[in-house]
Amino acid sequence: MLRLDARYFAGSPFVHLKTEVIIIGGGSTGTGIARDLALREIPSILLEKGDFTSGASGRNHGLLHSGARYVVSDREAARECITENRILKAIAPHCIEATGGFFVSLPEDSLYWRDQFIRSCMDVGIEAEPLQRDDVLQRDPAINPDLVAAVRVPDGAVDPFLLVIENARDAERNGAKCLTHVEVTELLAAGGRIRGVMARDTITGEPHDIEAPFVVNATGAWADHILKLAGLHLGLILSKGSMLITNRRLCRHVINRCRPPGDGDIIVPNETVSILGTTSVTIDDIGRIEVTPPEVSRLIEAASHLIPAVKTTRFIRAYAGVRPLFQFADAADGRAVSREFVLVDHGARDGLSGLITITGGKLITYRLMAEKVCDLLCGKMGVRVDCKTAVTPLPGAERPFDLSGRLKEFGDVPLQGRGETLCDCELIGRGEIEGILRQGRLRNLQDILHRTRLAKGTCQGAFCVYRLLGVLQEQGLTGGGEPHEILKGFLEERWKGVRPILGGLSLREEELIESIYRGLFNL
Amino acid sequence: MRYDLIVIGMGLSGLMSAKTAVDAGAKVLVVGKGTGGLCLFTSGIDVMGALPAGAAMGEALPRWIERHPDHPYAKMGWEGVREALEAFAELFPPPYGFAPEGEGNCLLPTGAGTTRPTYLVPATMRSACRLEKERTLLVGFQGFRDFYAEYAAAGLKCRGENLAIPEIAGRNNSATSLARLLEDLPFREQVAAEIVRRLRGETHVGFPALLGFRNPMEILKDLEDRTGTAIFEIPILPPSVPGMRIFRRFRQHLIARGATFLLGSPVSRILRNGPSCTAVEILHPPVTQVYEADRFVLATGRFMGGGLCADEETMREPLLGLPLSASLPREHWFERSFLEGREHAIHGVGVVTDGDLRPLDGAGRPYAANLWIAGTLLAHQRWIDEKSREGIEIATGYRAARKALAS
């Protein structure tokens, strides 16, 4: 894929840099750490080899856990979730839709487990309201009418892309520096101490030499890849989770099965679509993750028990993320903060001081994970500054999530400042895209797509990406090469997500798209 | 009320069958859920874009057919295809006609800045056949989101500009609304003035394919006179105004010749009596209508048209359960790459027929005595890769009706 014109790349050609903390990884944890440090006025540089949210932070359910899912098996994890759930609702309301969630009991599900579930929720402090069958169906008519009962909990939906971008934006506003498309190639150490990193711009190849007394490895499932540069190893187990996106919003609430967690038993409403998942398959190679048709069939089967309409719904995309799982069997040499995430001080564990790894965990606990890392760093630096992220709202928090407002706005005939509507599925106008372009730091098409909901709706970019390229061309941003290369690159990337779900009703959409791009445009 | 022929499907193949039948004096009912790919994708008439560049159709297509003996074209040969194309072209007398440019395919620019081969070129696209980059300006409309002139121009290596027309500023403009506006003289005057203002010596102007429904050549000539340039249309994202022109012309012709035209009417069932089909059932809740006929042409298209459907694992023809040419396991339907490498195998699957386009049952015998198949529902064609959609639709639509009426 071609790079965009360099004038929209905000990063100037850094070659030698010096800072206090280098953060590797631009997911929710990495950007969370950058923001936490920035609010404590500790300088940092974040390095991300792709764009923000390229890893698991952009490839999950978008579920704002209440903790109820773990409450029976792991109260500590559940307690963390509900605390963070409340904090995120306060600091990032614009990234969250507080839908509420139902834990649904079907006739074959154990009511004994349900009792245990409700009791555990009460113990941990998760609001759990038992509901009768009719009451549930009235509030969410899509749910399987065979249900026996359900429990309402404060689950919700979160936009992980926006959340991560907002963290990065606020970090930079407070003095941090974030470099995307910069890959760490070496960890520099001397005398048992980390000294910095060598890195490389993945697009220009330009080398970066960054000095810092502390390096935080916040690369999630890639943690062992980074540690390998220092000859270290955590032995993470990689577990692939696959998800499916439906072409419409199937339900109003997050739906879970009220029984011990299993495959395909969560459905999350997410703006105009719903997301079903997930599976858990151990993989060896993180470079090659794909969703297989049997997984798709399994997810559809499982989710159809919760919402029967799943069987007759058109799917628009499948995707998979990778969870890094830490083996606590040899936890003696690691410092287990909780069973949900792991914080490793490689000074204590491996004799390489200044290097810290944070991995595991969930999107919902990213802020807590960042806080723990920063507390550890502050301790090592010998400074005492309290964490401020739990009480400081993110920049866009004054504009809370407002779907109906948006629908009304786009219903107006005069376009005002919005410009023509580029994306009908998600109601994105030219004005919004031009705003994103002005923010800078865009190196390729995916960078833009990470910052907008354009192409995330039912047509998965089939119409709007052509239009987006039209706008980019007008702004002189498509670089010098063949403009079709970007379009072709997008269509191939899209195909990876679409091909596994092709079957049933989705074949119609496929024929339409192929008729346009292979037929009409002869690509 | 009993018809000589009922045509199921209102895409180009169904319309062509109906036209052929009414022209032969038959009493025809044409029923359709929608208008197929015609009003979405059609601009020129593709016959076999995959032939080598510069090859004369009359020489290269017969050889191609020899190498593809299962292809629908093999059932009528080049002579049969040409006869059908001529019958189609009769409907479009000058000035808005369809004709080949030279012997073979002509490469026409598209809204993505690519070029695509087509055989019969509509009169409004003729000036695009020999595109001179330095002398061509592409124009779009500011705020029209289905054609970006600068993007298309970048691919075609010419210049592109967007016209600013106050009358349409600040709202989402659809292709159909712009096509209608261009039929109005005052609007066209503004457009022409804007084009002139932006010309930098160019002699040719590429325009999104929106030049009205009724008299596109009149509009084109008017713009040419006002701008002093040669104007041509460029096909854009769906819907397709040129496709709608074809649909309108067929509808006008069919209704004038006494055909019954039922658009928006999905056929729910084909009734049979022994070896013959007897009637179609159209469900308009709460009413069910039954229409009887002596002969039937099934031209329901593929997945978009509803001619084929699938569940998670298998494909089928939903109205009669006609046997399909292959039953592929789902993982073989589509290739790993969308654009590169082999064709997606699913597109070659369809209904198998005899040489007269009668569908065959599992034992290789005609499925019914009075049923014929036309269009992309047919097996062993890959219109997307072949660039053969309209040719297949016209040739098989024509042949199915001829064979039906001869029976």
pLDDT score, position A15: 67
CB of A476 within 8 Å of any CB in chain B?
Answer: no
Please give the distance of CA A397 from its chain centroid, rounded to a whole number: 19
For residues B48 and A453, what is the distance between their CA atoms, to the nearest angstrom?
A: 39
- Residue A459 is given by DSSP the state T
Are B155 and A494 within 8 A, CB to CB? no
Average pLDDT over residues A225-244: 93
Are B384 and A515 within 8 A, CB to CB? yes
For residues B321 and B371, what is the distance between their CA atoms, to the nearest angstrom?
A: 13
Q: Quick check: A358 pLDDT over 90?
A: yes
Are B40 and A503 within 8 A, CB to CB? no
pLDDT score, position A457: 81
Residue B322 is which amino acid? L
Q: Quick check: A376 pLDDT over 60?
A: yes
For residues A394 and A351, what is the distance between their CA atoms, to the nearest angstrom?
A: 37
Cα-based distances in Å from A135 to A110, A139, A259, A268, B189: 20, 6, 20, 20, 63
Find chain A residues with C-beta within 8 A of B235's C-beta: 520
State how far residue A495 is from chain B, nearest Cα, in angstroms. Answer: 6
Query: What is the phi/psi pair of residue A463, to 5°?
Result: -95, -45
CB of A471 within 8 Å of any CB in chain B?
Answer: yes
Find chain A residues with C-beta within 8 A of B336's C-beta: 499
DSSP strand pairing (A129-132 vs A149-153): antiparallel
Query: Within the 124-143 window of chain B, which residues sit less than 8 Å (CB to CB) from chain A?
Result: 143
pLDDT score, position A287: 79
Are A523 and B385 within 8 A, CB to CB? no
Find chain B residues with C-beta within 8 A of A304's C-beta: none
Query: What is the phi/psi pair of residue A46, to 5°?
Result: -100, 135
Are A519 and B41 within 8 A, CB to CB? yes
Are A503 and B170 within 8 A, CB to CB? no
CB B85 within 8 A of CB B394: yes
Are A471 and B148 within 8 A, CB to CB? yes
CB of B348 within 8 Å of any CB in chain A?
Answer: no
Buried (b) or exposed (e) across A7-39, using 16+ Cβ within 10 A? ebbebeebeebebebbbbbbbbbbbbbbbbbbb
For residues A465 and A276, what is the distance between their CA atoms, to the nearest angstrom?
A: 25
Q: Sorting pLDDT into bands at 50, 70 and 90, what band is A419?
A: confident
- Residue B57 is inside which H or E element, if any? helix B57-67
CB of A485 within 8 Å of any CB in chain B?
Answer: no
Query: Within the 219-238 window of chain B, which residues sit less than 8 Å (CB to CB) from chain A?
Result: 235, 237-238
Are A518 and B313 within 8 A, CB to CB? no
DSSP strand pairing (A149-153 vs A273-277): unpaired
CB B135 within 8 A of CB B241: no
State how far residue A475 is from chain B, nearest Cα, in angstroms. Answer: 10
- For every residue of B352-387, DSSP letters joined together read -B-TTS-BB-TTSSBS-TTEEE-STTBSS--HHHHT
pLDDT score, position B398: 98
CB A465 within 8 A of CB A490: yes
Compute the half-sphere exposure of residue A299: CA atoms within 13 Å on the CB side of its CA: 29
Nearest CA in chain B to A467: B145
Are A483 and B114 within 8 A, CB to CB? no
The region of weakest confidence among A239-253, A318-332, B190-204 is: A318-332
ipTM: 0.96
State how far residue B330 is from chain A, nearest Cα, in angstroms. Answer: 8
For residues B321 and B299, what is the distance between their CA atoms, to the nearest angstrom?
A: 14
CB of B116 within 8 Å of any CB in chain A?
Answer: yes
pLDDT in tens for each of the 407 residues of chain B? 799 999 999 999 999 999 999 999 999 999 999 888 899 999 999 999 999 988 999 999 999 999 999 999 999 999 999 999 999 999 999 999 999 999 999 999 999 999 999 999 999 999 999 889 999 999 999 989 999 999 999 999 999 999 999 989 888 899 999 999 999 999 999 999 999 999 999 999 999 999 999 999 999 999 999 999 999 999 999 999 999 999 999 999 999 999 999 998 899 999 999 899 999 999 887 889 999 999 999 999 999 999 999 988 899 999 999 999 998 888 899 999 999 878 899 999 999 999 999 999 989 999 999 999 999 999 999 999 999 999 999 999 999 999 999 98
Joined together, the tokens standing for residue B62 give 């017969």
CB of B336 within 8 Å of any CB in chain A?
Answer: yes
CB of A439 within 8 Å of any CB in chain B?
Answer: no
Could you read off the pLDDT of A135-154 as tens digits, one per residue?
Answer: 999 999 999 999 999 999 99
CB of A523 within 8 Å of any CB in chain B?
Answer: yes
Are B311 and A421 within 8 A, CB to CB? no
CB of A494 within 8 Å of any CB in chain B?
Answer: yes
Residue of B229, B205, B209, B220 lying closest to B136 (CA atoms):
B205
CB B109 within 8 A of CB B115: yes
Could you read off the pLDDT of A15-66 as tens digits, one per residue?
Answer: 689 999 999 999 999 999 999 999 999 999 999 999 999 999 999 999 999 9
For residues A89 and B101, what is the distance between their CA atoms, to the nearest angstrom?
A: 65
pLDDT score, position A411: 67
At residue B65, the 3 state secondary structure works out as: helix
pLDDT score, position A320: 94
Are B304 and A511 within 8 A, CB to CB? yes
Name all domains of chain B by residue range, CATH numbers in brackets.
2-95+244-280+295-406 (3.50.50.60), 111-235 (3.40.50)
How many residues are listed for chain B in this entry? 407
Are B143 and A415 within 8 A, CB to CB? yes
Query: What percent of chain A has a predicted confidence (pLDDT) above 90?
Result: 67
CB A521 within 8 A of CB B111: yes
Q: Which residue in this structure is represented by tokens 């039922």?
A: B262
Residue of A51, A140, A25, A161 lying closest to A96 (CA atoms):
A161
pLDDT score, position A269: 95
- Residue A486 is inside which H or E element, if any? helix A483-498
At residue A187, the 3 state secondary structure works out as: strand
Any idea what the Cα angle at residue A445 is, between residues A443 and A446, rounded to 5°? 95
Any idea what the Cα angle at residue A280 is, between residues A279 and A284, rounded to 5°? 130
- For every residue of A4-60, DSSP letters joined together read PPGGG-------EEE-SEEEE--SHHHHHHHHHHHHTT--EEEEESS-TT-SGGGSS
For chain B, the three-class secondary structure string (H helix, E strand, C coil) is CEEEEEEECCCHHHHHHHHHHHHCCCCEEEEECCCCCHHHHCCCECCCCCCCCCCCHHHHHHHHHHHCCCCHHHHCHHHHHHHHHHHHHHCCCCCCCEEECCCCCEEEECCCCCEEEECEEEHHHHHHCCCCHHHEEEEEECCCCCCCHHHHHHHHCCEEEEECCHHHCCCCCCHHHHHHHCCCHHHHHHHHHHHHHHCCCCCEEEEECCCCCCCHHHHHHHHHHHHCCEEEEECCCCCCHHHHHHHHHHHHHHHHCCCEEEECCCEEEEEEECCEEEEEEEEECCEEEEEEEEEEEECCCCCCCCCCEECCCCEECCCCCCCECCCCCHHHCCCCCCCCCCCCHHHHCCECECCCCCEECCCCCECCCCEEECCCCECCCCHHHHCCHHHHHHHHHHHHHHHHHHC
pLDDT score, position A401: 67
Query: Within the 276-305 window of chain A, which residues sit less than 8 Å (CB to CB) from chain B?
Result: 293, 297, 300
Average pLDDT over residues A500-517: 92
Nearest to A523 among B151, B162, B339 (CB): B339
Report the 10 Å Cβ neighbour count for B84: 23
pLDDT score, position A141: 95
Are A413 and B110 within 8 A, CB to CB? no
